[in-house]
């Protein structure tokens, strides 16, 4: 019991940070464990080299002893040198695996004890005054290899003490000489050990800081993209299942634009803190860049509990932020998440791509909410990549064309215009729905080119139409975000020679939610040409009446979902009536989309609708059918127009 406590007094404590404390290196508490780990890694080669040298030295000594010695000295010296060779050889693999300073210290003490025992044995058998200097050498070797200086004093006392006792037994003169050698040896080994250790630990500390900086986001202090991928790949390698969540803030850009980057930075820091607070011990929270964050979490029990967690996450990020200067910022966050089954063999970037896909879906359809990546998304992604590749390789000019669907005035009983709708006929894929290929083109960045081609084709068709028939063209959210794209659209309008009042651009609410400022600027540029703007699919998503008066729109296109509900639910009727009366109050015109039956048409008419579009009037038609269709107007009733 007593010997154990004496021995443990020679060992460094096993608590994190003892090395940094010993040498007064200012290591952050959260880095203490890593600092110790790296320090042990740096000190290990010294102990390893010492054990190797000691083994070699005593192997030679043993060989010499076996050949030259005889009698009692043969036994004494070999009993000391042979075990010293074997023990130091056995210690080598132990040191190689040693992962704590304590283990290294134990090895150093054993090696020192072996050297001490041999030096003492030698002096007992053959006393040689010059060989007393070995006791100083022992101290120097110990000082070089020991991870801490904790055992230095006892080692010095024993080793130097023995040397002095032996010298004193020789003569007073010898004692006098060796007193100075002892003093010089002790000071030299202490200075050597301290300087070496200090420099070594400082280098470790500097490397730790550099590594930390390379792995952390400078603004939020969260792990950055690099560390995120390291952790992702580590979990995949170890086949540890986990949950992956990617988060993108909605409405961050306006905060940045309105209040400045310093406030934007504070907001990001607070978002990081909230995320860390929610995730605490559950896993890693990283900032991937901009306003995008990602979480790698220990797996939840079920999709339900993961959904609850991500919903809680989105709710928390939606709470008002009080920033410096009392600025109140309100943003929301959309999330894409999945349970990563590491047995499926997906790489880190493939998993991130999937979570990103779900996030994209959330952004487009369920802003401020989490979306789970499902099998349906997987199938969509496969289709998407096929469509994407085909779009890039195909002859867009030859394969893209435009069809036209009439917009009808129920009062004057005539067509007032046509909506241009994109079509893509590919030899390999056949007819691809615009919903699908427009989305693919938006994601791949091809949309601007596609819009241009479609616009030219649509404008070419309009040249033959009567002056009182207008053209409505759908713009993608991407078109509105890009100033370059808008410039090209403006040029197409001016070069077409069509009276701008006859041209209408349809935009959706989505762009207003994500990029209000640039979209507003784009709309204003188009309006300045004299064209009209229609808000498409009104009521299909997160309609905000707030946008209607903030945007210079001329027309609201009431979404088909209301029409399908019209006959079934009284509430749909009330909503349509309310929207129509809002339009007339604001001086806006309207079109009700997707009218398929006489009954719907009648009900709409009764509730104040005047302009409709839908299969009841006509399905989208090829450009060369438009004039023939217009010629029949006035002769045939609307319900007969498409031959039904
Ligand atoms: P949208 O702009 O809301 O177009 C109306 C869609 O409703 C068209 O589908 C049209 O064929 C369909 N539709 C019209 N009447 C009825 C009806 O009575 N019943 C039903 N069930 N559907 C009806 P389409 O042509 O498949 O286009 C789908 C969407 O693709 C469009 O929705 C629009 O968002 C987008 N799109 C089409 N062409 C273009 C384009 O040139 N550029 C861009 N950016 N998007 C386009
Ligand atoms: Mg449209
Ligand atoms: Mg629409």
Specify the pLDDT at position 327. 86
In the block, which residue shows the tokens 């905000």?
A: 544
Complete domains list, the chain, with CATH = 2-213 (no CATH), 225-373 (3.30.70.270), 401-421+445-632 (3.20.20.450)
Task: Answer positive or negative: Cα dihedral of 365, 369, 373, 375.
Answer: negative
| CA atoms of 390 and 626, how far apart (whole Å) | 30
| CA atoms of 48 and 107, how far apart (whole Å) | 9
For residue 434 and ligand 1, the question of a CB distance below 6 A is answered with yes
Q: Does the pLDDT of residue 15 top 80, yes or no?
A: no
| CA atoms of 472 and 408, how far apart (whole Å) | 13
From the CA of 451, the nearest ligand is 1
Q: Which has more pLDDT, 538 or 163? A: 163
Q: How confident is the model at residue 644 (pLDDT cuts 50, 70, 90)?
A: very low
pLDDT tens, position by position, 66-106: 999 888 889 999 999 999 999 999 999 999 999 998 899 99
For residue 283 and ligand 1, the question of a CB distance below 6 A is answered with no
- Mean of pLDDT values over 564-587: 88
Q: Which two tokens stand for residue 592?
A: 């009700």
Determine the distance separating the centroid of ligand 3 and the alpha carbon of 525, expressed in angstroms: 23
Rounded to 10°, the helix 172-215/225-237 angle is 100
User: Which residues lie below 8 Å from residue 201, measured CB to CB, with a gap of 6+?
Assistant: 19, 20, 23, 25, 39, 42
Specify the pLDDT at position 10. 63
- Mean of pLDDT values over 496-517: 85
Q: Does the pTM exceed 0.75?
A: no
Q: Are strands 555-558 and 503-507 parallel, antiparallel or unpaired?
A: unpaired
Determine the distance separating the centroid of ligand 3 and the alpha carbon of 311, expressed in angstroms: 30
E-strand ranges in 174-291 read 242-250, 283-289
Note the Cα 511 to chain centre separation in Å: 24
Indicate the SS3 state at residue 114.
Answer: helix
The proportion of the chain whose per-residue pLDDT surpasses 90, expressed as a percent, equals 62
User: Which residues lie below 8 Å from residue 615, measured CB to CB, with a gap of 6+?
Assistant: 594, 595, 596, 642
Nearest CA to ligand 1 atom 12: 594
Specify the pLDDT at position 642. 44
User: How many CB atoms are located within 10 Å of the residue 410 CB?
Assistant: 18
Q: How confident is the model at residue 641 (pLDDT cuts 50, 70, 90)?
A: very low
Q: Does the pLDDT of residue 455 top 70, yes or no?
A: yes
Least confident of 34-38, 396-400, 433-437: 34-38
For residue 537 and ligand 1, the question of a CB distance below 6 A is answered with yes
User: Which residues lie below 8 Å from residue 13, measured CB to CB, with a gap of 6+?
Assistant: none
pLDDT tens, position by position, 289-331: 899 999 999 988 888 899 999 999 999 999 999 988 888 888 9
For residue 431 and ligand 1, the question of a CB distance below 6 A is answered with no
Determine the distance separating the centroid of ligand 3 and the alpha carbon of 414, expressed in angstroms: 20
Determine the distance separating the centroid of ligand 1 and the alpha carbon of 426, expressed in angstroms: 19
**Contact (CB, 8 A) for 637 and 612:** no
Q: How confident is the model at residue 544 (pLDDT cuts 50, 70, 90)?
A: low
Q: Which DSSP letter does residue 644 get?
A: -
Determine the distance separating the centroid of ligand 2 and the alpha carbon of 643, expressed in angstroms: 24
Q: Which has more pLDDT, 619 or 203? A: 619
Task: Tell which one of 421, 443, 613, 619 to mutate to probe ligand 1, the residue whose CB is within 8 A of the most ligand atoms.
Answer: 421
| CA atoms of 415 and 241, how far apart (whole Å) | 59
For residue 406 and ligand 1, the question of a CB distance below 6 A is answered with no
Determine the distance separating the centroid of ligand 1 and the alpha carbon of 476, expressed in angstroms: 12
Q: Does the pLDDT of residue 280 top 90, yes or no?
A: no
- Mean of pLDDT values over 249-272: 89
Strand-pair partners of 294: 246, 286
Torsion angle, alpha carbons of 611, 613, 614, 618, to 10: 100
User: How many CB atoms are located within 10 Å of the residue 583 CB?
Assistant: 20
pLDDT tens, position by position, 598-612: 999 999 999 999 999
E-strand ranges in 389-508 read 400-409, 414-426, 430-432, 470-474, 503-507
From the CA of 406, the nearest ligand is 1
Q: Which two tokens stand for residue 516?
A: 């209000």
For residue 415 and ligand 1, the question of a CB distance below 6 A is answered with no
| CA atoms of 353 and 355, how far apart (whole Å) | 6
- Mean of pLDDT values over 469-491: 94
For residue 596 and ligand 1, the question of a CB distance below 6 A is answered with yes
From the CA of 506, the nearest ligand is 2
Nearest CA to ligand 1 atom 45: 474
Torsion angle, alpha carbons of 167, 170, 176, 177, to 10: -70
| CA atoms of 589 and 504, how far apart (whole Å) | 12
Specify the pLDDT at position 361. 87
Determine the distance separating the centroid of ligand 1 and the alpha carbon of 435, expressed in angstroms: 8
- Mean of pLDDT values over 174-198: 91
């Amino acid at each position: 019991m007593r010997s154990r406590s004496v021995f443990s007094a020679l060992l460094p404590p096993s608590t994190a940070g003892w090395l940094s404390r010993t040498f007064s290196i200012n290591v952050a508490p959260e880095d203490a464990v890593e600092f110790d780990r790296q320090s042990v890694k740096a000190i290990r080669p010294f102990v390893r080299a010492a054990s190797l040298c000691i083994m070699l030295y005593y192997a030679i000594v043993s060989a010499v002893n076996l050949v030259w010695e005889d009698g009692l000295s043969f036994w004494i010296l070999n009993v000391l040198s042979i075990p010293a060779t074997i023990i130091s050889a056995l210690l080598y693999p132990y040191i190689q695996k040693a992962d704590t300073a304590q283990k290294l210290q134990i090895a150093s003490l054993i090696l020192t004890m072996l050297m001490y025992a041999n030096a003492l044995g030698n002096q007992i058998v053959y006393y040689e005054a010059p060989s007393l200097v070995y006791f100083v050498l022992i101290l120097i070797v110990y000082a070089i290899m020991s991870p801490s200086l904790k055992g230095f004093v006892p080692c010095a006392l024993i080793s130097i003490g023995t040397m002095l006792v032996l010298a004193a037994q020789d003569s007073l003169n010898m004692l006098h000489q060796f007193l100075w050698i002892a003093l010089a040896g002790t000071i030299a080994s202490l200075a050597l050990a301290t300087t070496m250790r200090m420099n070594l630990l400082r280098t470790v500390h500097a490397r730790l800081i550099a590594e930390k900086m390379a792995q952390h986001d400078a603004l939020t202090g969260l792990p950055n993209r690099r560390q995120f991928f390291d952790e992702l790949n580590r979990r995949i390698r170890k086949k540890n299942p986990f949950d992956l969540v990617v988060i993108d803030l909605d409405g961050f850009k306006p905060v940045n634009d309105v209040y400045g980057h310093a406030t934007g930075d504070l907001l990001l820091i607070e978002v990081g803190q909230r995320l860390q607070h929610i995730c605490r011990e559950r896993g890693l929270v990283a900032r991937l860049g901009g306003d995008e964050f990602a979480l790698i979490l220990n797996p939840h029990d079920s999709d339900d509990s993961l959904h609850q967690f991500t919903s809680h996450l989105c709710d928390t990020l939606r709470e008002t932020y009080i920033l410096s200067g009392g600025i109140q910022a309100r943003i929301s966050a959309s999330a894409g998440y999945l349970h990563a089954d590491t047995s499926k063999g997906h790489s880190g970037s493939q998993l991130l791509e999937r979570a990103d896909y779900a996030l994209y879906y959330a952004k487009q359809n369920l802003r401020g909410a989490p979306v789970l990546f499902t099998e349906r998304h997987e199938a969509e992604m496969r289709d998407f990549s096929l469509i994407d590749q085909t779009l890039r390789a195909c002859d867009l000019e030859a394969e893209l064309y435009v069809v036209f669907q009439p917009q009808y005035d129920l009062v004057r009983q005539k067509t007032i215009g046509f909506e241009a709708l994109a079509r893509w006929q590919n030899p390999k894929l056949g007819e691809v729905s615009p919903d699908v290929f427009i989305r693919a083109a938006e994601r791949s960045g091809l949309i601007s080119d596609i819009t241009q081609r479609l616009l030219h084709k649509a404008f070419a068709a309009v040249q033959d139409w009567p002056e009182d028939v207008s053209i409505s063209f759908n713009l993608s959210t991407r078109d509105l975000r890009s100033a370059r794209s808008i410039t090209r659209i403006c040029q197409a309008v001016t070069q077409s020679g069509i009276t701008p009042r006859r041209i209408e651009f349809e935009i959706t609410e989505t762009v207003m939610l994500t990029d209000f400022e640039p979209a507003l600027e784009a709309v204003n540029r188009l309006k300045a040409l004299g064209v009209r703007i229609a808000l498409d699919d009104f009521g299909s998503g997160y309609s905000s009446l707030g946008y209607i008066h903030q945007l210079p729109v001329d027309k609201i296109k009431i979404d088909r979902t209301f029409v399908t509900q019209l006959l079934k639910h009284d509430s749909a009727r009330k909503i349509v009536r309310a929207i129509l009366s809002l339009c007339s109050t604001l001086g806006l015109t309207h079109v009700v989309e997707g009218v398929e039956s006489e009954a719907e048409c009648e009900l709409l008419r009764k509730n104040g609708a005047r302009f409709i579009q839908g299969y009841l009037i006509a399905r989208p038609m090829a450009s060369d059918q438009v004039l023939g269709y217009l010629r029949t107007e006035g002769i045939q009733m609307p319900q007969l127009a498409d031959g039904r």
